[in-house]
Amino acid sequence: MTGQDRVLVSVSDGVATLTLNRPDKRNALDAETVHTLHESVLALDRTPDVRVMVLRGAGPDFCAGADLEQLERIAAGADPLENIADATALGDLFIAMRRAAKPIIAAVHGHALAGGAGLATAADLIVASESATFGYPEVKLGFVPAMVTALLRRSVGEKIAFEMITLGTTFRAPDGARLGLVARVFPDDHFGPESETFVRELAARSSSAIQLCKRLLYGIDGASFESAIAHGAEVNAIARATPDCREGVRRFLEKRSR
């Protein structure tokens, strides 16, 4: 199976869907899949017609984590340089997703575990079916969900993140929503159409405004209050000069004057 077969890409009405396509492996992340996802995110972010990217999984699960062959190599004592290369590749994918100008939504059904939960967490938003299961169970193997911790603590806070990664217990989508990790939970039998409606709603918003929102939100990470306000003022000024903003204000004023 080639990289293009592992990750199917389709674009429709401004929405690019990236589908993990290894259902027989529960969409496990091997090196080729990670590489193809990374390249696809970079390419779609440069595609003018794309406004939103969506990650999905083929078959019954979103993604069950690392490929079994990778785990077998670890058990056999893989070359440290090989381990560094594998870890760096996944970390680079997470960075690319965060740096992408366009929003990325993970649409999760079935299991999203270990690296699969990490992939979902790296997205800007998570929508999930009600029965979807999440978990960072690496500690149970004597392992660590290392790269995703940088994202998880920003999503749910330090103490909840600590509990998640040290106990390694799984939890359902409604609990993920309660903790602030999952944005929307939809009934299993309506997950496809309702998650699609959510994505289309985001895609219908001003593309320039959404991109500036993402840039601002992540750009003030770790900044002082004063620096965050200053950065916000810069983005405010940039937004005012965009065609979308000028047109939106014009429509608002015309409606108000009627």
Pairing of strands 111-113, 125-129: unpaired
Q: How far apart are CA 1 and CA 202, in angstroms?
A: 33
Return the structure tokens found at 22.
């290894």
- Joined together, the tokens standing for residue 133 give 């299961």
In the structure encoding, which two tokens stand for residue 52, read together? 């939103």
Sign of CA dihedral 32, 33, 36, 38: negative
Distance CA 251, CA 147 (A): 45
CA pseudo-torsion sign 59, 35, 64, 160: negative
Strands (E), the chain: 7-12, 15-20, 52-57, 104-108, 111-113, 125-129, 133-135, 170-172, 184-186
Backbone angles phi, psi at 214, to 5 degrees: -65, -45
Catalytic residue among 138, 194, 196, 201: 138
Size of the chain in residues: 258
DSSP string covering 62-82, please?
SB-SB-HHHHHHHHTT--HHH
Concerning whether 32 is annotated as a catalytic residue, the answer is no
- Which residues are identified as catalytic? 138
